[in-house]
């Protein structure tokens, strides 16, 4: 037993030595995260936890190595309340705190990128897919790891048009809904015969019966709803209450736990809801994502949706958006290491030149012409059944993807 203890102690010392790698400590490097803690708590929490999971892993592995120094990453959280004005103030605070990068859900990014850009500080968007937010030419400091509205809209056109459906294009009047609608319009512009009607829905309204009835009368045989989770829940409620079993398609908000919580009394109303998202697994298989998920759940616990399957199992939400902030942290660290300096200009340039392996096994990185870390081809479609979802089988990419376990 004593010999075992000595061996273990020796191994521990060896491991500690490897971890420190002999670099002089440079102190802390701040990574700011500006998220809607009080506006959209689920999204905020999952983004923060993904980022913290990455930085704590890097810190415990010897820290961030820049040149001959090693730094500890320090995540500083700001709450933007889903308000652009608040996001501007947060950005200023983050810059005052010498943040090397600002990770955000995207709230206020149209205003904050310039403030950060003056100091060459990168802004990493990990939720909002709106077109125009990212442009390597005019916004060289803005990067994104999240599926884009543009990519999802075109993938939807590619997926739905061959089905010969008459689609009702619905969007709510939130900024998210309006931005998505613009991309959907573009994607379907060359196939007007596929569109039965276009409707704008009031965001936050729980009764959309009138609008859904109108859509039904237009001859729509499918609804593509670009809106916040409450809008999608309201559309499902209205359609199913009318006895209309129309297939409903949605952006990534369709997977938000809110919808299932809201419709927990009518799980069959959720059945068939299809949403677009970025695939959770790469061609290498489920291994990398499941490993990430396991690491995430052992640190923070599973993100419980708050509903159960028909056989009584608790449903959990795979940490998709946590994956994006986690990946952004790793790409940032790769850029800092490549830059060999904390000089923001050099870090910004290095962000265009590095690739890392993402949590799902896909390569993540940016380049001089593209600051999108999720390519359009990675957009897949998943359909709900019994409160959990699985990739659809009638789309070439989606059909290659395995399901991720969602019950505990």
Q: Facing residues of 265 across strands?
A: none
Residues in region 378-397 near other proteins by CB under 8 A:
378, 396-397
| Piece in contact with other proteins (CB under 8 A), picked from 10-18, 174-182, 210-218, 365-373 | 365-373
* 352 binding other proteins? (CB under 8 A): yes
| Nearer to other proteins (CB atom), residue 343 or residue 363 | 363
How far apart, in whole angstroms, are the C-alpha atoms of residue 29 and residue 267? 46
* 355 binding other proteins? (CB under 8 A): yes
| Nearer to other proteins (CB atom), residue 79 or residue 378 | 378
Total length of the chain: 408
How far apart, in whole angstroms, are the C-alpha atoms of residue 181 and residue 201? 11
* 367 binding other proteins? (CB under 8 A): yes
Query: Quick one: which of 244, 306, 376, 392 contacts other proteins (CB under 8 A)?
Result: 376
| Nearer to other proteins (CB atom), residue 259 or residue 336 | 336
CB burial readout 159-168, b (16+ within 10 A) else e: bbbeeebebb
The two structure tokens encoding residue 63: 């820290």
Q: Locate tokens 């008459």: which residue?
A: 166
| Nearer to other proteins (CB atom), residue 230 or residue 361 | 361
Contact (Cβ atoms closer than 8 angstroms) between residue 373 and residue 270: no
Rounded to whole angstroms, what are the CA distances from 132 to 180, 237, 254, 298, 377?
11, 33, 22, 37, 19
| Mode of pairing for the β-strands spanning 142-144 and 123-125 | parallel
∠ at Cα 362 (344, 65), nearest 5°? 35
* Least distance in angstroms from the C-beta of 397 to other proteins: 5
Torsion angle (degrees, nearest 10) of CA 50, 56, 59, 60: -130
* 84 binding other proteins? (CB under 8 A): no
Residues in region 263-302 near other proteins by CB under 8 A:
282-283
Query: Quick one: which of 353, 385, 392, 407 contacts other proteins (CB under 8 A)?
Result: 353
Residues in region 131-170 near other proteins by CB under 8 A:
none
* Least distance in angstroms from the C-beta of 355 to other proteins: 5
| Piece in contact with other proteins (CB under 8 A), picked from 104-112, 244-252, 256-264, 350-358 | 350-358
- Please report, as ranges, the residues that interact with other proteins according to CB under 8 A: 282-283, 352-353, 355, 363, 365, 367-370, 375-378, 396-397, 400
């Amino acid at each position: 037993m004593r010999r075992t203890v000595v061996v273990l102690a020796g191994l521990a010392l060896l491991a500690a030595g490897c971890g420190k790698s002999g670099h002089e400590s440079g102190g802390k490097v701040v990574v700011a995260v500006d998220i809607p803690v009080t506006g959209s708590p689920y999204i905020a929490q999952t983004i923060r936890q993904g980022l913290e999971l990455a930085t704590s892993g890097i810190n415990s592995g010897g820290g961030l190595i820049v040149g001959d120094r090693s730094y500890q990453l320090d995540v500083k959280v700001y709450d933007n309340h889903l308000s652009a004005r608040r996001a501007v103030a947060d950005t200023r605070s983050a810059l005052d705190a010498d943040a090397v990068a600002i990770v955000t859900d995207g709230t206020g990014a149209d205003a904050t990128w310039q403030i950060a850009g003056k100091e060459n500080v990168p802004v990493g968007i990990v939720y909002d897919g709106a077109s125009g937010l990212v442009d390597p030419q005019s916004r060289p400091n803005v990067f994104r790891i999240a599926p884009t509205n543009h990519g999802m809209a075109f993938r939807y056109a590619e997926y739905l048009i061959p089905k010969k459906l008459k689609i009702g294009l619905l969007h709510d009047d939130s900024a998210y809904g309006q931005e998505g609608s613009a991309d959907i319009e573009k994607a379907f512009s060359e196939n007007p015969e596929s569109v039965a009607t276009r409707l704008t829905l009031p965001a936050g309204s729980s009764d959309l019966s009138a609008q859904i009835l109108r859509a039904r009368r237009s001859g729509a045989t499918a609804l593509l709803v670009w809106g916040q989770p409450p809008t999608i829940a309201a559309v499902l409620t209205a359609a199913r209450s009318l006895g209309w079993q129309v297939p409903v398609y949605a952006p990534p908000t369709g997977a938000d736990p809110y919808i299932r919580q809201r419709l927990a009394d009518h799980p069959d109303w959720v059945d068939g809801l299809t949403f677009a998202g970025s695939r959770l697994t790469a061609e290498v298989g489920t291994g990398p994502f499941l490993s990430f998920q396991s690491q995430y759940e052992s640190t923070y616990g599973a993100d419980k949706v708050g509903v159960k399957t028909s056989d009584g199992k608790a449903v959990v939400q795979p940490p998709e958006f946590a994956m994006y902030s986690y990946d952004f942290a790793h790409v940032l660290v790769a850029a800092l290491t490549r830059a060999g300096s904390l000089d923001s200009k050099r870090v910004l340039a290095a962000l265009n030149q590095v690739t890392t392996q993402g949590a799902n096994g896909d390569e993540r990185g940016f380049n001089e012409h593209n600051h999108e870390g999720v390519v359009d081809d990675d957009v897949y479609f998943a359909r709900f059944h019994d409160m959990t979802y699985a990739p659809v089988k009638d789309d070439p990419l989606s059909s290659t993807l395995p399901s991720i376990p969602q019950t505990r």
